[in-house]
Amino acid sequence: MIRLVVADDALLAAVAEHDPDVTVVDIRMPPTHTDEGLRAAVDLRRRYPRRGVLVFSQYIEARYATDLLAVRAGGVGYLLEERVPNVRAFMSALVRVADGETVLDPDVVRQLVGANRQRETLDRLTAREQQVLTLMAEGRSNTAIARLLAVSDGTVGKHVSAISGKFGLAAADTDHRRVLAVLRYLKG
């Protein structure tokens, strides 16, 4: 028999008191309804390593999902509400998480893989390219960036070209590579 605590504003106290096999949390919980649930799930995995945690939400938060999965192997799940077809499927996921398995919605996996690729691309940028990209994201022109970094306009142009190349952004009449680079930076 699986003992279950559904997340609420007293999540940590309830888990400490009831010692459930699986804790189900949503990302957006009281008091601010932003990301408390996912942060609590990461904390629960650290505090109670033998207990399962299932995030059941309509949202994907890749930055915390990575932390959730990194704490330890198994005993974790992240499912999207609209993709769980029925109670039987939900209960099956609960049992699998309680048994130490990892249960992930395919969309969560896609988001995590995409976020990791984005981080890898950003990590390939030199420190100076990262500075240039940050200033681009602030809306600065090449001339303004050159002035702030005490380099020539041409040097900034070379950095912008290098950034575009590392992001795989080819020159095209239909797209603005500088804007696309900034969008990738903001998503990363």
pLDDT, tens digit (0-9, with 9 covering 90-100), for 58-78: 877 777 677 777 777 788 888
Is 0.75 surpassed by the pTM of this model? no
Domain ranges of the chain: 4-113, 125-187
Is there a shared CATH topology between the 4-113 domain and the 125-187 domain? Answer: no
The structure tokens listed for 164 are 């575009």
Residues 12-28 have a mean pLDDT of 86
| Six-digit token string for 79 | 């499912």
Residue with tokens 């009449």, as numbered in its chain: 173
DSSP 21: S
State the Cα torsion 118-122-124-127 to the nearest 10°: 180
For 4-113, which CATH class? alpha beta
Which contiguous run of DSSP H or E holds residue 5?
strand 4-6
- The whole-number pLDDT of residue 108 equals 78
Percent of the chain, pLDDT > 70? 84
Beta strand ranges found along 16-158 (DSSP E): 22-25, 52-57, 76-80, 102-104
Between 29 and 86, the more confident residue is: 86
Give the pLDDT mean for 12-34: 82
As a whole number, the mean pLDDT across the chain is: 80
Rounded mean pLDDT, 26-39 = 74
| Per-residue confidence (pLDDT) for residue 1, from 0 to 100 | 47
152: how many CB neighbours lie within 10 A of its CB? 12
Residues 6+ apart with CB under 8 A from 51: 15, 19, 20, 21, 22, 23, 44, 75
Q: Which long-range contacts (CB under 8 A, 24 or more apart) does 138-144 make?
A: none
> Rounded to whole angstroms, how far apart are CA atoms 75 and 89?
17
CATH topology for 125-187 is Arc Repressor Mutant, subunit A (1.10.10)
Pick 187 or 91 by higher pLDDT: 91
The pLDDT of residue 94: 93
